[in-house]
Structure 1
Amino acid sequence: MSVPALYPCEIVHVRGRPVRHTLRHRTFLWFVDVDHLPRLPLPLRLLVRFDPRDHFAGTAPTLREGLARLLDAQGVRLGDGRVRMLAHARVLGHVFNPLTLYWCTPADGSGERVVAEVHNTYSERHCYVLRPEDSGAARVAKEFYVSPFFPVDGHYRMRLPEPDGRLDLTVHLERDGTRPFTATVRGHRRAATAPRVLGAMLRHPWSTLAVSAAIRLHGIRLLLRGLPVLPRPRHRVQKGLE
């Protein structure tokens, strides 16, 4: 299936305990081959940019090299294997990607990997390197402070199939036999033509700033509902992101 592509989508966060709360946000995401990033008409290049500094350690000259450094630290040799990425693009100098996904086929023959790169609102990053089951699901220990209302414990159960005509992602937080938090991303594929890109930008101007603002606004609402803020542990830079 051809790339690049757009996925107009709805992101939903459902918090089940200790209080019930739902966040819904409409936006659009890009699905790209990291070796063949979009080449758009000059005016649109000001609105769409993928910068290696926004991902991984932020020091690699390309997205592929940043990913390769991370995987190498995990004992996986990416080589010239295929890599597809789902993310927000930088818009007028701003980007915030709570979750960037990379579907990888390492050249070492070790099997498919999905890398879930998580950014929190404290400018910290962490990557989960997953080997999904046939269903596209994987379970991994939570190792990174994201929400100020949840401690760094429990596990994530992630179902992250590579998008085709449809985008359908689910992330559950599992703690003490319960699922207090679930995030879903649902959308449908659109060709990344210049008119469609422009239309998406007009419908969702400052798309990445809106994501960041929505997260902070809902955090304030939860705080006003009495949820205590948990201390943020000292962030340890992950191997491969130094």
Structure 2
Amino acid sequence: MTAAPTGAPALYPCVIHHVRTAPTRYALRHRTYLWLLDPDTPPRLPRPLRPWARFDPRDHFDGTAPTLRAGLDRFLAGHGVDLRGGRVLMLTQARVFGYVFNPLTLYWCHGPDGRPRCVVAEVHNTYGQRHGYLLTTPEATEEGTGAEYRTGKEFYVSPFFPVDGRYRMRLPEPGERLDLTVHLEREGGRPFTATVRGARRAVTPGALLRLALRHPWSTLAVSAAIRLHGIRLFLRGLPVRPRPGRPRRPGKPLQEKAT
């Protein structure tokens, strides 16, 4: 298979950890694997492995762009950003046997000089909707190292939280380690935190096959786990918040067709 000269593709076996602290405490852990790729040159897999990994532009943004990169560039253009051909790294789930569910896809975007320009966080919910957040102004972390982004919440994700508050996201570009943190901050506290931790693996047929056998139907498993934990929270008495028809501007576009 071919590899892009920008450090992608790569595989990240990882652990996703969610912690809710309000209105009741609840935690979940899920093991899976993610792909880091260059959307200009997605991985070319040997034919027998292609059912385990397909990257389809219909699964991202408004679903109408001819390529992954074209979909990202169209989204950025709608927000007045032109990378002028600068490189992009994309962290995502692949389609596995025709099914995909991507709670969060990240794009680290660089200008033609190689300097970071922005990060795009593309969020999918279990209702078949998508929403993109453009993150352009990193801030120093509380620990004084790295950088994080803040943005208002504009999209309905969990049925147990309204569309209010702000996200604080620590999103360092993946290297040998994958280390992401997303906090939801609302008045009175921080009711939800998600982390993703993993280690880089080279993309080889053997590595992909081992991960695929260890995590069969990985994207379906993520979607099923979210629904299962939602049922558990509902049975604990958490009230369901009504789902608005569309997110608030300016975080367009929204895709309402199921993935």
TM-score (norm 1): 0.96
From the superposition, tell whether residues 38 and 109 of structure 1 become closer, same or farther in structure 2 (CA, over 3 Å): closer
Which of the residues 57, 80, 96 maps onto 1:52?
57
Whole-angstrom CA distance in 2 between matches of 1:70 and 1:241: 11
Could you say what the CA RMSD is over the residues aligned between the two structures, in angstroms?
A: 1.7
Counterpart residue identity of residue 221, structure 1: R
1:140-159 equivalence runs, <5 A: 140-159=151-170
Note if contact 2:120-2:132 (Cα within 8 Å) is conserved in structure 1: yes
Whole-angstrom CA distance in 2 between matches of 1:9 and 1:110: 27
Whole-angstrom CA distance in 1 between matches of 2:49 and 2:188: 47
Aligned with 1:199: secondary structure?
helix
Deviation at 1:239, TM superposition (A): 3.6
Whole-angstrom CA distance in 1 between matches of 2:106 and 2:65: 18
Deviation at 1:39, TM superposition (A): 1.2
Whole-angstrom CA distance in 1 between matches of 2:52 and 2:179: 26
Note if contact 1:7-1:188 (Cα within 8 Å) is conserved in structure 2: yes
Q: Percent identity?
A: 68
Counterpart residue identity of residue 117, structure 1: E
Whole-angstrom CA distance in 2 between matches of 1:146 and 1:185: 18
Q: Are 1:133 and 2:139 matched, yes or no?
A: yes
Whole-angstrom CA distance in 1 between matches of 2:202 and 2:134: 29
Q: Are 1:66 and 2:77 matched, yes or no?
A: no
TM-score (norm 2): 0.89
Deviation at 1:240, TM superposition (A): 4.6
1:181-192 equivalence runs, <5 A: 181-192=192-203
For 2:95, the equivalent position in structure 1 comes to 90
Counterpart residue identity of residue 133, structure 1: E
Does 171-180 or 129-138 show the bigger shift?
Answer: 129-138
Whole-angstrom CA distance in 2 between matches of 1:239 and 1:125: 9
Whole-angstrom CA distance in 1 between matches of 2:8 and 2:184: 31
Which of the residues 11, 31, 35 maps onto 2:36?
31
For 1:168, the equivalent position in structure 2 comes to 179
Does 124-133 or 145-154 show the bigger shift?
Answer: 124-133
> Structure 2: any 5+ residue segments left out of the alignment?
1-5, 141-145
Q: Give the paired residue count.
A: 242
Give the ranges of 4+ consecutive aligned residues of structure 1 lying more than 3 Å apart after TM superposition.
106-111, 236-242
From the superposition, tell whether residues 110 and 198 of structure 1 become closer, same or farther in structure 2 (CA, over 3 Å): closer
For 2:143, the equivalent position in structure 1 comes to none
Does 24-33 or 71-80 show the bigger shift?
Answer: 71-80
Whole-angstrom CA distance in 2 between matches of 1:72 and 1:46: 33
Deviation at 1:78, TM superposition (A): 2.3
Whole-angstrom CA distance in 2 between matches of 1:36 and 1:27: 23
Whole-angstrom CA distance in 2 between matches of 1:44 and 1:233: 40
Note if contact 1:71-1:240 (Cα within 8 Å) is conserved in structure 2: no
